[in-house]
């Protein structure tokens, strides 16, 4: 909308771009996987040529992506990257004070972990002695043989596991361990990932109830191995506190899906 002197109202272009992004985030766009210029023009009430120019500019910045074959548009990598960094920053800020208390209670190092493809990535490590432990931060470890990986996969279906781990021969065993973690509220591992190392992990959920991170406690098996279940329950309570900071209210767990064969 133009002002009396013919200039455009400040923020007008931004609002119109946001309308396009809202349309690309709509249920219709999510079902189809993309939307074309004509449909986006209909949804936003704009001229096709205006929409085309705006999408081209957004695509150049990575905010949207254009499929070269279908010419349809979807939300782009840069937008998701910005959202991911914002979510992870909030997650770290919510988790760190809880992790300090957990480390002091168990007198062990604990880690805040997220899932990246087939690996578990550590975002933050806290020790009862030095609080911040940087040796593990940014490192990835296999998801299928770690307690953190198993709780990060709590929302996965059998089909999801087949897609994520196409070459893993022991998927039924992994599925059974994930379901055990679901029943217990935490996962435990003793010397599966590394000889002499034991660990427990519990899920952190966002306001929708989706698992977005894992709280992990790892230590030498000779020190932690005999108290894995007790440590798991303490870690689960700590993870629930972080989840509450993220807006999650605990509800009864849904029944598990059919196991893979």
Same domain, 69 and 115: no
Counting the structural domains of the chain, the total is: 2
Same domain, 60 and 90: no
Same domain, 58 and 183: no
Tell me, yes or no, whether 259 lies in a domain: no
Same domain, 89 and 192: yes
Same domain, 62 and 122: no
CATH number at residue 205: 3.30.450.40
CATH number at residue 67: 1.10.10.10
- The reported pTM is 0.64
Same domain, 134 and 193: yes
Q: What distances in angstroms separate CA 255 from CA 183, 213, 223, 259, one per listed residue?
A: 10, 21, 35, 12
Choosing from 25, 48, 75, the residue where a domain stops is 75
Tell me, yes or no, whether 1 lies in a domain: no
The range of the structural domain enclosing residue 38 comes to 12-75
Same domain, 49 and 157: no
Same domain, 93 and 215: yes
Tell me, yes or no, whether 134 lies in a domain: yes
pLDDT tens, the chain, 261 aa long: 344 444 444 445 678 888 898 898 888 887 888 899 999 999 999 999 999 999 999 998 888 889 888 999 988 877 765 655 666 778 888 999 999 999 999 999 999 999 888 889 888 888 865 444 445 556 678 888 899 999 999 999 999 999 999 888 889 999 999 999 999 999 999 878 788 888 999 999 988 889 999 999 988 888 888 899 999 999 999 999 999 998 887 665 555 555 555
Tell me, yes or no, whether 175 lies in a domain: yes
Same domain, 139 and 231: yes
Same domain, 45 and 163: no
């Amino acid at each position: 909308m133009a002002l009396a002197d013919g200039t455009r109202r400040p923020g007008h272009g931004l609002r119109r771009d946001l309308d396009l992004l809202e349309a690309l985030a709509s249920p219709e766009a999510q079902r189809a996987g993309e939307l074309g210029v004509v449909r986006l023009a209909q949804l936003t009430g704009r001229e096709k040529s205006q929409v085309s120019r705006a999408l081209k500019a957004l695509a150049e910045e990575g905010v949207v992506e254009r499929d070269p074959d279908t010419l349809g548009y979807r939300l782009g990598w840069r937008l998701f990257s910005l959202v991911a960094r914002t979510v992870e920053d909030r997650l770290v800020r919510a988790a760190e004070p809880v992790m300090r208390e957990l480390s002091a209670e168990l007198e062990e190092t604990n880690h805040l972990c997220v899932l990246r493809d087939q690996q578990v990535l550590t975002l933050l490590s806290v020790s009862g002695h030095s609080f911040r432990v940087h040796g593990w931060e940014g490192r990835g470890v296999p998801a299928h043989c770690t307690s953190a990986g198993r709780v990060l996969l709590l929302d996965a279906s059998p089909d999801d596991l087949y897609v994520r781990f196409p070459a893993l021969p022991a998927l039924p065993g992994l599925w059974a361990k994930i379901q055990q973690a679901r029943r217990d509220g935490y996962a435990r591992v003793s010397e599966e990932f590394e000889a002499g190392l034991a660990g427990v992990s519990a899920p952190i959920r966002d306001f929708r109830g989706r698992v977005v991170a894992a709280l992990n406690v790892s230590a030498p098996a000779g020190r932690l191995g005999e108290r894995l279940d007790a440590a798991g329950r303490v870690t689960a309570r700590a993870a629930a506190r972080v989840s509450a900071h993220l807006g999650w209210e605990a509800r009864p767990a849904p029944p598990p899906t059919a196991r893979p064969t």
